[in-house]
Chains A and B, each alone.
Chain A
Amino acid sequence: MSAAATSGRARSSGKTDGSLGTTPPTWMQAILMSRYQFRDYLRSRRFLLMVGIVAAICIIFISLVAHYRPAVVIGSGSAFYSMAWVGGAEILIIFSAIIFGGDAIAGEFQNKTGYYLMGLPIKRWSVYAGKYLAAFAASLVIILVYFVVLLFAGAYFVGGGAITAGVFESLAMVALYLSAVLGTTFLFSSLFKTSMYGVIIVAIMFLFGFALVEGLVEALVGVTPWFIITWAESAISYPITGLPSHAGLADRSIVLLPTYAQGIAVMLGYFFGTTLAGLALFDREEFT
């Protein structure tokens, strides 16, 4: 053992007690946490998997369009971006949530990584928020890669004029929807201490669970399923397609499509509601 290493317990400025450093504010710890967690995501196999999924979607889509040149897709910029960009982004959001968020909190318990952090002078919500921000950033990177590829593809197939401000507005809507989906994913993940359960529940709910409940609520109860997150999903495409004429209007007492404001409200509601609930759960969870 190095004598130099252990001698003296050298002190430095900023020390307030027996140890080096002054504990930073909670929000700063959340940012720091997210930075390292993001780095962990970028180096992980799951990130490579997501890159692979994006590459596969892009290659298949561009190959098909280049070969068949379907008018329904390349007939206008609106058609191209609403089908290719919005449709693909919805799939990527769900996959990102499953892959980056499904085990984000449950894994802290199962993998015992939580023990590495929770003995530190840090509030639990810093860890939760840090992991959420990292998952959001990793998902957004994937979605941005897809977005950039499709911008070029759209310019090639439809022409540069197809890239309107609406395309970028829809990117903002995608980011909002992603935040709501990840909030919900983190809540599900907080319910379990086993990664697999978190991933399975998130996959089931977002791949068909919410759609099933939405359909059942409409068909059996005859109520607009505004409280189901996937009901708001359609609003992502509005900046490109424009607001459909029947959005917000009832068809036999059921509103099938939300208005812009309704879509945004549901997404924000899910983001805040699920994040607060997830935080409360994580704060009370014990590392037994």
Chain B
Amino acid sequence: MNPSIEARDLTRHFGAFTALDHLNLKVEGTKCVGFLGPNGAGKTTTLKMFTDLIFPSAGEAFINGISVQKDRRSALSSCGALIETPEIYGSLTPREALELIGSLRGMERADVRRRTDDVLGEVKMTEWADKKVGKFSKGMKQRINIASTLLSDPDVVMLDEPSTGLDPRGMAEVRAIIRELKGQGRLIFFSSHILSEVIDVCDEVVLINKGKLLFYDTLDNVNARLTQGGTSVDVEFLGPVSDDDAKSRLSSIPGVLSWSRLDPRRLSLMVQGGPEVRSQVLESVASLHLGLVGFHESRSALEDVYLREISTGDS
């Protein structure tokens, strides 16, 4: 069966405030989907309703076609979820904490032992397996939480801002874990407000703001839609570059579709083609002797779409 999650008219009010407004979304298949939105957009609220931590004001959440609200035990049996940053009973060791999860999920002892070793290795906590969790740093606890999420080898993995609170190395390691999980036939649905994280690991992206779904599409489509197949490149010069120079000398370089001015010393070029074309454009710009000091890819298409959609929603 193809793993899936689905929100049908999922709505949640907190008094007069609507945290989630009739969310309709179906994500299906083995892939990694980023759940993007600014703080307060409704990401965690959505995930909490998918895991029955809070209850919808209206609508239902489904995991693999089973309603979480009607049959949480069945719905959550094939789902591993990490919501916020849970605390583990401080006197337990990671091995014991994972045994608790495994036994509550009904895993056989041999499976629990094998998977405990596996997942502790995945999150690089093997050497801490028999130390008490209470003395761990936040980052170490979060790794154990991730290990707990993966222990039963679930089809659906939901992660709520899993790298929050981690240092840069910890964040990179979490991304590496998610990338590794992608290749293992699961549906990974993780919320984040860090665009680079989503770009780095996701195939598709869901964007919400103020409790409303703004779009759900593949990253490739988002890129193609915004850039029409091109790549935006920022070019920086030592001194000001005139419009005439830009128009006559830069626009004529093969591969450059258009240009726009960022400031007197910086221009943005829309380049058609892959890395080879960008390399040729770089060499051509350098050969113009305009005092080139910088040449790098601009912010991503997703970032453009994100900012545009969020600001549209805010206005």
Stretch of B153-161, B287-295, B296-304 lying at the A interface: B153-161
Alpha-carbon separation in the docked complex, A15 to B247 (Å): 65
User: Is A67 at the interface (CB under 8 A from chain B)?
Assistant: no
Q: Which of A16, A26, A40 has the most CB of B within 10 A?
A: A40
Taking the nearest CB of chain B, how far is it from the CB of A45, in angstroms?
9
Instruction: List residues 10-51 of chain B with CB under 8 A from any CB of chain A.
Output: 14, 48, 51
Does the CB pair A286–B88 fall under 8 Å?
no
Chain B residue nearest to A122 in the complex (CB): B104
Q: Check A36/B92 contact, CB under 8 A, given A20-B115, A122-B104.
A: yes
Alpha-carbon separation in the docked complex, A118 to B83 (Å): 10
Contacts of B82 in A (CB 8 A): 119
Q: Which of A24, A39, A43, A121 has the most CB of B within 10 A?
A: A121
Taking the nearest CB of chain A, how far is it from the CB of B168, in angstroms?
18
Instruction: List residues 229-263 of chain A with CB under 8 A from any CB of chain B.
Output: none
Stretch of A108-116, A138-146, A155-163, A202-210 lying at the B interface: A108-116
User: Is A117 at the interface (CB under 8 A from chain B)?
Assistant: yes
Taking the nearest CB of chain A, how far is it from the CB of B176, in angstroms?
6
Stretch of B68-76, B217-225, B229-237 lying at the A interface: B68-76
Chain A residue nearest to B44 in the complex (CB): A288
CB 8 Å contact bits of A115-135 with B (1 = contact, 0 = none): 111111111000000000000
User: Is B9 at the interface (CB under 8 A from chain A)?
Assistant: no
Chain B: interface size category? 35 or more
Q: Which of B104, B124, B176 has the most CB of A within 10 A?
A: B104
Partner of B152, one of A21, A115, A118: A21
Stretch of A6-14, A189-197, A268-276 lying at the B interface: A6-14
Does the CB pair A6–B106 fall under 8 Å?
no
User: Is B162 at the interface (CB under 8 A from chain A)?
Assistant: no
Does the CB pair A17–B104 fall under 8 Å?
no
Taking the nearest CB of chain A, how far is it from the CB of B311, in angstroms?
29
Chain A: interface size category? 35 or more
Does the CB pair A1–B176 fall under 8 Å?
yes
Does the CB pair A33–B64 fall under 8 Å?
no
The A interface, classified by DSSP as helix, strand, loop or mixed, is loop
Chain A residue nearest to B123 in the complex (CB): A1
Does the CB pair B181–A116 fall under 8 Å?
no
Taking the nearest CB of chain B, how far is it from the CB of A258, in angstroms?
39
Instruction: List residues 100-156 of chain B with CB under 8 A from any CB of chain A.
Output: 100-108, 110-111, 114-115, 117-119, 121-122, 124, 132, 145, 148, 152-156
User: Is B272 at the interface (CB under 8 A from chain A)?
Assistant: no
Q: Check A118/B53 contact, CB under 8 A, given A39-B91, A113-B89.
A: yes
Taking the nearest CB of chain A, how far is it from the CB of B26, in angstroms?
17
Does the CB pair A112–B156 fall under 8 Å?
no
Partner of B73, one of A36, A39, A123: A123
User: Is A18 at the interface (CB under 8 A from chain B)?
Assistant: yes
Partner of B105, one of A2, A20, A111, A116: A20
Q: Check A121/B55 contact, CB under 8 A, given A14-B106, A116-B86.
A: no
Q: Check A118/B51 contact, CB under 8 A, given A21-B107, A43-B91.
A: yes
Taking the nearest CB of chain B, how far is it from the CB of A56, in angstroms?
24
Does the CB pair A121–B72 fall under 8 Å?
yes
Does the CB pair B154–A39 fall under 8 Å?
no
Q: Check A113/B53 contact, CB under 8 A, given A40-B92, A119-B81, A122-B73.
A: no
User: Is A23 at the interface (CB under 8 A from chain B)?
Assistant: yes
Does the CB pair A18–B76 fall under 8 Å?
no
Does the CB pair B72–A123 fall under 8 Å?
yes
Does the CB pair B84–A115 fall under 8 Å?
yes
Partner of B83, one of A5, A22, A44, A115: A115
Does the CB pair B87–A17 fall under 8 Å?
no
CB 8 Å contact bits of A150-179 with B (1 = contact, 0 = none): 000000000000000000000000000000
Given A43-B132, A115-B53; 8 other pairs, CB 8 A cutoff = A1-B124, A7-B184, A20-B111, A24-B104, A36-B92, A40-B90, A119-B82, A119-B83
Query: Which A residues are within 8 Å of any B CB, using their own CB?
Result: 1-2, 4-7, 9-14, 16-24, 26, 29, 32-33, 36-37, 39-40, 43-44, 111-123, 286-288
Q: List 26 A-B contacts (CB under 8 A).
A: A5-B122, A6-B180, A6-B181, A9-B186, A10-B114, A12-B110, A18-B1, A19-B155, A20-B105, A20-B111, A21-B152, A22-B106, A32-B103, A36-B96, A39-B91, A39-B92, A40-B90, A115-B87, A116-B89, A116-B97, A118-B52, A118-B53, A119-B80, A120-B104, A121-B76, A287-B48
